[in-house]
Chain A
């Protein structure tokens, strides 16, 4: 069994009066590609942000064995997080963004070369010398993903990164994520695309009412693929039961 790369135990998070997470338990092993699904406002993004150690929360949290709240520098150098594309610095060029993040992470030229290769795969290269302000949503999304994958971190936290991507780029990205997972990375992909979760991921966890309400492994997902309604029907059943 591969080591646990992301370990979340009994995680609680609230924004003042608003309780978002009520004891989340989630373990993601190296080589696993996990889909985090759930209704809007269920706390998927908050859970991913909490895993970066930037939110005050209660419970146990470990990124590659390190608590990001106690040792943020060591933990963050082990994780890649795809930021909201709208927050990328518009006045910088794509190339400058890559070089900037590479310098912050202490990466060498080979990592930058690898990032440029990924840009070519995602058809981002023609835009790389232009300012981010001129990018479309999909192009910004591609850049956010390239920045998250920079330096091949062991843990990847990706929040709705397939949104806005053209079909070819989305397909390429799914291949890249598969390759990274096969190389030993633990990947958490928050998504609303149930077909993506069903066909391309190793596990799917449903976040509902601040807890993991269901967790389907590879075999169960394979079984759902052949059953009528598939994962969608299973998720809808959980959502109806929660109402």
Chain B
């Protein structure tokens, strides 16, 4: 029975990451064929994205953005700073919450090691935005001062997030905080779509809706109040829609985890596709109508149909794989590549290939 003599410089998070990485490499080595296949699929996705970059650089949105940023840079920087700060604060607070139940919360870890990990989390929350921002500034060919403003925005956002997380850390909370409460109550017979509706409502938090605030940065200076209001509402709707979509798909997995022993018919599970499919249909209709209203009548219905088709394909992937939506990214990418190749080689066959993929996935979903 001895008090141990902890090493104050040891970083348990780094050791854990190292061990996880070691295990992953071992798994890759044990299945070289599968690893090579996955690597090729990711490589193909990367090449596809890089190939799309020059097209994006020529789009009219870039001109709009450039005009907006040059016309009145201060509101743009302030808006970006506020949104970045909200994002970073939310990430850091989530990390603090997770640390209350983390395996090393009661271990003798020096405060400066914990602080170091906290800064790393904050840095990782801001890094993708910094890279995206630098890329955007390069594409827009803005003066060098813009890079300075971007760095200032990131710095201010980081400071705000650190202060916000510090405040939340000092407030005692349950180790397992209560789940978000639904915004509206529901009663009635057990149907998956009712549960999905409640979950979707629970996700309408200020943190989620703030993600839609990015659209504010696209509003041109001098735009009318109505246009600005409509754009803001559109941004909020997009953020709320994406959250509702993700949460409704998560319900399928949660239901699978605790209802699979119940004598439920296949139609119960397939009924779980109804709510996200309705969301997808609504999104496709709204997007198509908006594009048509803006004058892009020739492509409006194709874009709407494309969005619906891809959304239905993702639902089928989740049902078939019984994994969270972000875990079926590879499967989704493979299907996208297949559809993309078909579109290039034999466009008329595209609906048939899409239908075939969906049916194949639904057949997999029907397994016990």
Contact = CB atoms under 8 A, between A and B. Distances in A.
Nearest to B2: A152
Contacts of B211: none
Contacts of B170: 56
Contact of B19 (A16, A96, A107, A157): A96
A100 B102 CA distance: 14
A89 B103 contact: yes
A89 B16 contact: yes
Given A49-B175, A76-B108, A104-B12, A64 B3 contact: yes
A84 B174 CA distance: 13
B6 A183 contact: no
A72 B174 CA distance: 20
A106 interface: yes
Nearest to A85: B103
- A13, A55, A105, most chain B CB atoms within 10 A: A105
Nearest to A184: B1
Nearest to B102: A87
How big is chain B's contact interface, by range? 20 to 34
Given A76-B106, A100-B12, A105 B4 contact: yes
B10 A107 contact: no
Nearest to B177: A15
A114 B10 CA distance: 22
Interface in A70-92: 72-74, 76-79, 81, 83-84, 87-89, 91-92
Contacts of A13: 172
A77 B100 contact: no
A64 B4 CA distance: 13
Contact of A154 (B1, B103, B104, B175): B1
B241 to A, nearest CB: 32
Contact of B6 (A16, A88, A89, A105): A105
A123 interface: no
A83 B172 contact: no
B7 interface: yes
A139 to B, nearest CB: 15
Interface in B172-191: 172-175
Given A104-B107, A106-B7, A92 B23 contact: yes
A48 to B, nearest CB: 9
Nearest to A148: B106
B42 interface: no
Contacts of A78: 3
A77 B5 contact: yes
A111 B173 CA distance: 34
Contacts of B173: 15-16
Nearest to B15: A100
B8 interface: yes
A92 B16 contact: yes
Nearest to A101: B107
A57 B102 CA distance: 20
Interface of A: 13-16, 45, 49, 52, 54-57, 64, 72-74, 76-79, 81, 83-84, 87-89, 91-93, 96-97, 100-101, 103-107, 111, 131, 147, 151-154, 157, 180, 183-185
Given A49-B106, A91-B19, A106-B7, 14 more contacts: A15-B174, A49-B175, A54-B106, A74-B3, A76-B107, A76-B109, A78-B3, A84-B175, A88-B103, A89-B103, A92-B19, A106-B4, A107-B4, A151-B4
15 contacts: A15-B172, A73-B110, A76-B107, A76-B108, A83-B105, A87-B103, A89-B16, A91-B23, A104-B6, A104-B10, A104-B109, A106-B5, A106-B10, A152-B2, A154-B2
Interface of B: 1-8, 10, 12, 15-16, 19-20, 23-24, 100-111, 170-175
